[in-house]
Amino acid sequence: MKQDPETAEPSTGPASAEPVTDRPVGNGPVAESANSLLTDDALTPDELAARWEADAPPSAGGTANTVASLVALAIGVVGVVISLGLGLGAPAQPEPGMWPFIVSLVVVVLSAAQVVAGRRGGDGEKFSRYSLSTLFGFLTLLGLAFLMPVIGFEIPSLLLSLIWMKFLGGETWRSAITYSLLVVAAFYGIFVLGLGTSIPHLL
Of all residues in the chain, the percent with pLDDT exceeding 70 is 68
- Locate all alpha helices (DSSP H) within 87-202, ordered by sequence: 98-117, 132-151, 154-163, 173-187
Average pLDDT on 50-71 reads: 73
Q: How far is CA 29 from the centre of its chain?
A: 25
Per-residue confidence band for 35, with pLDDT thresholds at 50, 70 and 90? very low
Distance CA 163, CA 152 (A): 18
Dihedral of CA atoms 27, 33, 36, 38 in degrees, nearest 10, equals -90
Average pLDDT, the chain: 76
Bigger pLDDT: 71 or 52?
71
On the question of pLDDT at 100 being above 70, the answer is yes
On the question of pLDDT at 108 being above 90, the answer is yes
Predicted TM-score (pTM) above 0.85: no
